[in-house]
Amino acid sequence: MTTDVGQHQMWVAQAWPFRTPRTFLTSGGLGTMGFGLPAAIGAALAAPGRRVACISGDGSLLMNIQELATLADHHLPVAVLVFNNSQLGLVRQQQELFFRRRYEASHFQTGPNFAALAESFGIRGSRILAESRDPLGEIAHALAEPGPCVIDIEMCGKANVLPMVPPGGANHQTIEHHHLATA
């Protein structure tokens, strides 16, 4: 499992049931957007035959989207799941919680169709819409086929990742609930 940087990364860290050491490749600390896809390619090359998932955000994936060509060239079993909220979600969350909802440059007005973009690189692409009645089933269906794929998953743009440590704060100042942050 690899990730990029943002809300999707925190959700993976908080919710994915990791069982084996060294199976979570993520760019923490001074986290670098664009890390996820090349890291997934590296993981797939290092562990032949194993399925690798890269969970990314619509902002982060665009930072190294050209690596879809490398993925296609090597035809590696990497599934890129885009948590697509049409936002730089973690930036939006911080503007909401710590900057009195002064939103600036955190909402995308224009975003690509990542499934079509994948197809243009010769990689299978699919799209899960917010109205889907069976998103997990659709994701499982897309993952069932071998080879590389990009699954563009439309997300709610209002969700916040909690708990979180506020910028400049220490771990004992972790925010657990939304109302604490906005009080």
Nearer to ligand TPP, 87 or 95 (CB): 87
| 163 upstream amide cis, omega within 30 of 0 | yes
Under the binding rule (CB under 6 A), the answer on residue 151 touching ligand TPP is no
Sheet containing strand 149-154, strands side by side: 2-3, 52-57, 78-84, 149-154, 124-128
Gap between the Cα atoms of 131 and 58, Å rounded: 19
Which one of 1, 2, 8, 65 is in contact with ligand TPP (CB under 6 A)?
8
Q: State in angstroms the smallest separation of the CB of 96 from ligand TPP.
A: 12
Nearer to ligand TPP, 66 or 147 (CB): 66
How many residues of this chain interact with ligand TPP, rule: CB under 6 A?
21
Per CB under 6 A, the segment of 3-11, 17-25, 127-135, 175-183 that binds ligand TPP is 3-11
Under the binding rule (CB under 6 A), the answer on residue 154 touching ligand TPP is no
Under the binding rule (CB under 6 A), the answer on residue 5 touching ligand TPP is yes
Q: State in angstroms the smallest separation of the CB of 92 from ligand TPP.
A: 7
Gap between the Cα atoms of 121 and 119, Å rounded: 5
Token pair for 140: 């499982």
Which one of 31, 38, 112, 135 is in contact with ligand TPP (CB under 6 A)?
31
Question: Contacts with ligand TPP in 64-123 (CB under 6 A)?
Answer: 83, 85, 87-91
For Cα atoms 116, 118, 124, give the angle at the middle one, nearest 5 degrees.
100
Instruction: Find, among 144, 84, 164, the residue nearest to 116 by Cα.
Output: 84
Residue whose entry in the numeric block shows the structure tokens 């909220």 = 85
Nearer to ligand TPP, 122 or 163 (CB): 163
Query: Which DSSP string corresponds to 20-71?
Result: STT--B---SS--TT-HHHHHHHHHHHSTT--EEEEEEHHHHGGGTTHHHHH
* Chain positions contacting ligand TPP, by CB under 6 A: 4-8, 31-34, 57-60, 63, 83, 85, 87-91
